[in-house]
């Protein structure tokens, strides 16, 4: 019997590079069938639904455990439940824990935007940040999955047995917690890469935890 692990918000997110978030070898994916890594357009729809660009506090979990600046201004009225998961740079450095969160997109083009950021110091998402370089694909960001249709199942169970709550916002159904899966949906392990030099050298799928630890400090 597969063990199920209900995801608590007290754990950090896994950080995936673009190759992992958009893995498609042999038809496999980081998401279960019926779910996907959202596109830039789908993120824009979410932001518009919640109320435009000045809505980060409506997306953020309240409290200093998750945000180190203006933690009490967060309301999470949307139910999206963003936490300040930080990111990992293309050289292997970690940055911005509890200060920001960055989400991978399914789209990648050197002339288009590639990430969605929610910042702690501001009341609004910083928007879609453009990184017109190959190195962007090496950056470790969090992943939120979006359902292919608008029927909310109430929860999502990944291939590792982790159970995530879901939330319907407008016509979209999102995971209510950041992805922490360690295998693609065909059972292929996602390589865990802790060493900074090894991370910087990646040209294929990899993931890590912030400061190589699963626990928020």
Per domain, the residue ranges of the chain are 5-199
- 131 pLDDT band, cuts 50/70/90, is very low
The CA dihedral of 108, 146, 179, 70, to the nearest 10 degrees, is 90
pLDDT exceeds 90 at position 152: yes
DSSP string, 152-178: --SEEE-TT-EEEEEEEETTEEEESS-
Q: What percent of the chain has pLDDT over 90?
A: 52
pLDDT exceeds 80 at position 110: no
Q: Which helix (H) or strand (E) holds 196?
A: helix 196-200
CA 24/CA 30 separation, integer angstroms? 8
Q: Which helix (H) or strand (E) holds 44?
A: helix 40-50
- The tokens for 137 are 């694909």
- The candidate with the shortest Cα–Cα distance to 26, out of 214, 184, 168, is 184
φ/ψ of residue 12, rounded to 5:
-70, 165
Query: What is the value of pTM for the model shown?
Result: 0.88
Supply the mean pLDDT for the chain.
Answer: 84
CA 66/CA 79 separation, integer angstroms? 15
Q: What is the pLDDT of residue 69?
A: 66
Q: Which helix (H) or strand (E) holds 128?
A: strand 125-129
Sheet holding 100-104, edge to edge: 100-104, 115-119, 125-129
CB 7 within 8 A of CB 142: no
Compare 84 and 192 and report the one with higher pLDDT: 192
The predicted-structure confidence for 20-64, as pLDDT tens digits, reads as follows 999 998 999 999 999 999 988 888 899 889 886 667 888 888 888
DSSP 37: P
CB 211 within 8 A of CB 13: no
């Amino acid at each position: 019997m597969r063990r199920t692990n209900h995801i608590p918000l007290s754990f950090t997110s896994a950080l995936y590079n673009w190759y992992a978030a958009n893995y498609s070898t042999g038809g496999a994916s980081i998401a279960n069938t019926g779910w996907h890594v959202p596109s830039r357009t789908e993120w824009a729809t979410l932001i518009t639904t919640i109320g435009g660009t000045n809505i980060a506090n409506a997306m953020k979990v309240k409290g200093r455990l998750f945000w180190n600046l203006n933690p009490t201004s967060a309301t999470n009225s949307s139910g999206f439940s963003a936490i300040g998961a930080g990111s990992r740079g293309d050289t292997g450095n970690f940055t911005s824990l509890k200060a920001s969160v960055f989400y991978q997109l399914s789209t990648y083009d050197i002339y288009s935007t590639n990430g969605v950021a929610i910042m702690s110091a501001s009341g609004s998402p910083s928007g879609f940040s453009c990184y017109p370089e190959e190195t962007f694909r090496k950056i470790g960001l969090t992943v939120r999955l979006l359902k292919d249709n608008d029927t909310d199942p109430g929860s999502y169970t990944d291939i590792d047995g982790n159970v995530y709550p879901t939330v319907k916002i407008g016509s979209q159904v999102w995971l209510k917690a950041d992805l922490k899966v360690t295998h693609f949906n065909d059972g292929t392990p996602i390589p865990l890469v802790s060493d900074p030099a090894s991370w910087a050298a990646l040209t294929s799928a990899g993931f890590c935890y912030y400061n190589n630890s699963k626990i928020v400090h």
